[in-house]
Amino acid sequence: MDTPDFKPIEQLLSLLASNGKKYDFDKIKKAFLYADELHKGQMRQSGDPYISHPIAVAEIVASLGLDTDSICAAFLHDTVEDCPDKTDINKVKELFGEDVALLVDGVTKIKSINIEDKEETHIENIRKMLLAMSKDVRVIFIKLCDRLHNMRTLYVKKDEKRRITALETMHVYAPLAHRLGMQRIKQELENLALQYLDPIGYKEIKAHIEEKYGKNVNFIENLKLYVTEKLSQTNMDFSLEGRVKTVYSVYRKMYDQNKTFDEIYDFYALRIIVQTELDCYTVLGMIHEMYKSVPGRFKDYISTPKPNMYQSLHTTVIGKDGIPFEVQIRTYDMHHIAEYGIAAHWKYKSGDKASVDIDQKLSWISKLIDTETEAADSEEFMHAFKIDIFHDEIFVFTPKGDVVALPQGATLIDFAYSIHTGVGNKMVGAKINGRIAPIDTVPQNGDIVEVITSNASKGPSRDWLSIVRTSEARNKIRQWFKKEKRQENILVGRSEIDKLFARHRLICTEETKLEIVATVAKRFGMNEADDFFNAIGYGGITLSKVEMKIRDEYERNHKPQEREITVIEPTAPVAKRHKSTSGVIIDGLDGCVVKFAKCCNPLPGESIIGFITKGYGISIHKSDCPNISLAFSDENNANRFVKAEWDVSASGAHKATYESAIQIFVNNRISMLAEISVALAEMHVDIVSISTKNVSDSTILNMTISCKDISHFNSIVSKLRSIKDVIRVTRVVGAPK
Ligand code: MN
């Protein structure tokens, strides 16, 4: 047996011994030796022995102030999958106990979240990560440390791998670190990732920073001396540090806010750390006495902490030589939390106030996971994830002065629900800064929002589901519908399903339809069709989730034998052709009212059919309109179809134009709408109506346009398709009413 070599972890052990916390050193050594044994002979791409990686991760974990079990898990994190003689999780449990095993298992299960994966896999991975976090937040601490070390050593990897890893770091891990308030790790991750994502931009800004710093090399030093001298005249205990902005934060300011390098005011910053909150405000007063402050740049994150727990006073002042700089003032405790975030707060199973606090700080995770289990499709989950994690928050105030944090873009409805479920459900209006505002208004930072409720309110409206931005509000609205409106939900759900059948031209009797629904409902764990309709009605199950399943079931077990849909000759004796004032000739019927069906808007040149309505004359549909297929499947309608054709003779009184509904799917771009309207105007096409709907980076335009006939229509469509950033143009043939 080899003599154990403690050397590589000596540094770590002495660090632990000196930080005043209690550790089980034997257990830590044992974990190291076990990992060393398993990774024996394994090399990293850099040529270093593999064990150097778990050691580095353990060091970072220890520097966050985490406990023995976390450090052990850091040593062991790659032993279950990433080494030749891999161990299994039960063995880890046997040797190191349940907690370590749970942590190792959690870290192992979070596979690399390859952002080029299919969306589904990607989401599944993020979900796993959140689940692991909600069980034990240490899993994510260790994962972040693992990622940090991998980023530090990313240069050994191939170009493609670098790019993917850096992208994933920028899109998932850095925002997560930010959300958890782990500023130090976040900044390092961002800077490392930027080096690989935009090497040229990175170098350019770095050079700029060095140049600027070089020019004023004494600026920060003099500043520190001067402020130290002033503060020493008080009997406050304080410490001072100067810093320049990181490359990534300059990069973001320049690109996001379109600023030049010289417009960045907080390039230099001075951080003053004191003992008490009161000292913070005293120091602030002194700074404002010493220097002229820049208006609108003072922020009090002490009385209003950021949701990731960050607390500090920020102010920007003008130094000598007219150089502006930012001053951050905070206590030692606040500073510790600013650097390490939730990790600084974390105390395991201690049941004291800190851990209750932490549960609250992490409650957004369980809310997010709720979104997932509350059904909702993966698209929606991803949306919620992005909103809840990646977006910055704004703060608004209740009339009593309480602060409410909302994700940017949240509406007044979201605000109402975040106050209380009952407030949201009874909301009938709202005021912003004392003025009545529509409830879908997006409040601005600092607004005072008052929700107007009424006991006469009939509850939330279904439209709210598409207006709100937080998963919390959406879930609460759904819950309300689930509970209060079962009968209505069933009706809504049923009609949605009817439409779905029509849209896919699934032709069957009502009985078969119910059979199909019952089978699919079972697959969602529901025994009653009504429960299923109810879930669709309140949005617990989205249509996109059932669509494929219903079609499959239909195709597999219920598809009728092919029956060609042809026009039934009218039973009445065929009369001579009649002229029609509508431009349509109908066989066998004279002088009746003809109208064009709104569901399919038939155009001259297309094959059409007439359907005798009850009391409204004959409606003309396209022969392949889903409504016609549907009507055709009902034996009772056999005598209601009549042959119809366009009157192409010169004497036929054509209508000049016909309406047609189209849907255009475009990438969002300035002037997109203008280009589309210009193209239509050039072709002398009138827009009868238009509505738009935003879907993340794209927009769906629903338009009714007027055109002459099918060939005119086709030329309009191809013209629209030729416009840059138009992704899809489709004709809308509606569902039955
Ligand atoms: Mn690793």
pLDDT tens digits along 124-183: 666 666 666 667 778 888 999 999 999 999 998 888 888 888 888 887 788 788 878 888
Active site residue: 37, 82, 117, 277, which one?
Answer: 82
550 in Cβ contact with 541 (< 8 Å):
no
pLDDT in tens, 302-321: 887 777 778 999 999 988 77
Mean pLDDT of 361-375: 55
CA 158–ligand 1 middle distance (angstroms): 17
Q: Which of 197-206, 596-605, 629-638 has the highest mean pLDDT?
A: 197-206
CA 172–ligand 1 middle distance (angstroms): 17
Active site residue: 37, 81, 300, 515, which one?
Answer: 81
CB atoms within 10 A of CB 49: 16
CA 165–ligand 1 middle distance (angstroms): 13
CA 1–ligand 1 middle distance (angstroms): 27
Mean pLDDT of 574-591: 60
CA 164–ligand 1 middle distance (angstroms): 16
Task: With a cut of 70, say whether residue 249 has pLDDT above it.
Answer: yes
Residue 348 backbone dihedrals phi, psi, to 5 degrees = -80, 130
Mean pLDDT of 336-350: 70
Residue 241's contacts (CB-CB under 8 Å, 6 or more residues apart) are 270, 271, 273
Domain with CATH 3.30.70.260 in the chain: 658-732
- Element at 431 (helix H, strand E): strand 427-432
Mean pLDDT of 203-212: 88
pLDDT the model gives residue 81: 80
Domain with CATH 3.10.20.30 in the chain: 391-483
The dihedral through the CA atoms of 371, 375, 380, 382 has a sign that is: positive
CATH number of 658-732: 3.30.70.260
641 in Cβ contact with 568 (< 8 Å):
yes
pLDDT the model gives residue 367: 61
488 in Cβ contact with 470 (< 8 Å):
no
CA 86–ligand 1 middle distance (angstroms): 14
Fold of 391-483: Ubiquitin-like (UB roll) (3.10.20)
554 in Cβ contact with 509 (< 8 Å):
no
Residue 92's contacts (CB-CB under 8 Å, 6 or more residues apart) are 76, 79, 80, 100, 101, 104
Domain with CATH 3.30.460.10 in the chain: 201-342
CA 150–ligand 1 middle distance (angstroms): 7
Q: Which two tokens stand for residue 338?
A: 């600013």
Task: With a cut of 50, say whether residue 105 has pLDDT above it.
Answer: yes
pLDDT the model gives residue 348: 46
Q: How confident is the model at residue 350 (pLDDT cuts 50, 70, 90)?
A: very low
Query: Considering only the top CATH level, what class is 201-342?
Result: alpha beta
Q: How confident is the model at residue 119 (pLDDT cuts 50, 70, 90)?
A: low
Domain with CATH 1.10.3210.10 in the chain: 7-200
Task: With a cut of 80, say whether residue 395 has pLDDT above it.
Answer: no
pLDDT the model gives residue 364: 61
Task: With a cut of 90, say whether residue 354 has pLDDT above it.
Answer: no
CA 187–ligand 1 middle distance (angstroms): 20
| b/e 204-218 (16+ beta carbons within 10 angstroms → b) | ebbebbeebeeebee
Q: How confident is the model at residue 100 (pLDDT cuts 50, 70, 90)?
A: very high
What letter does residue 306 receive in the DSSP assignment? -
Q: Average the pLDDT over each of 43-52, 61-70, 122-131 and give the range with the smallest value.
A: 122-131
For residues 470, 472, 478 and 482, what is the CA-based torsion angle, rounded to 10 degrees? 180
Q: Which two tokens stand for residue 699?
A: 């927009």
pLDDT the model gives residue 147: 94
CA 75–ligand 1 middle distance (angstroms): 9
CA 508–ligand 1 middle distance (angstroms): 56
> Hey, what amino acid is at 71?
I
- Element at 535 (helix H, strand E): helix 529-538
333: annotated active-site residue:
no
pLDDT the model gives residue 569: 43
Q: How confident is the model at residue 349 (pLDDT cuts 50, 70, 90)?
A: very low
Surface-to-core class of residue 37, CB atoms within 10 Å of its CB (0-12 exposed, 13-18 middle, 19+ buried):
middle
pLDDT in tens, 418-476: 888 889 999 999 999 888 999 999 998 777 889 999 988 888 988 898 889 888 888 88
Sheet of 594-596, strand order: 584-586, 641-646, 608-612, 618-622, 594-596
CA 137–ligand 1 middle distance (angstroms): 18
Q: Rounded to whole angstroms, how far apart are CA atoms 531 and 529? A: 5
CA 419–ligand 1 middle distance (angstroms): 42
CA 308–ligand 1 middle distance (angstroms): 26
pLDDT the model gives residue 621: 86
CATH architecture assignment, domain 7-200: Orthogonal Bundle (1.10)
pTM over 0.75: no
Residue 695 backbone dihedrals phi, psi, to 5 degrees = -130, 100
CA 108–ligand 1 middle distance (angstroms): 9
82: annotated active-site residue:
yes
- Residues with beta carbon < 5 A to ion ligand 1? 78, 146
CA 626–ligand 1 middle distance (angstroms): 56
Q: Residue 583: which region, alpha, beta or left (left: phi > 0; alpha: psi -120 to 50)?
A: left
Q: Cα 508 to chain center, whole Å?
A: 39
pLDDT the model gives residue 383: 55
CA 54–ligand 1 middle distance (angstroms): 7
CA 434–ligand 1 middle distance (angstroms): 54
CA 146–ligand 1 middle distance (angstroms): 5
CA 151–ligand 1 middle distance (angstroms): 11
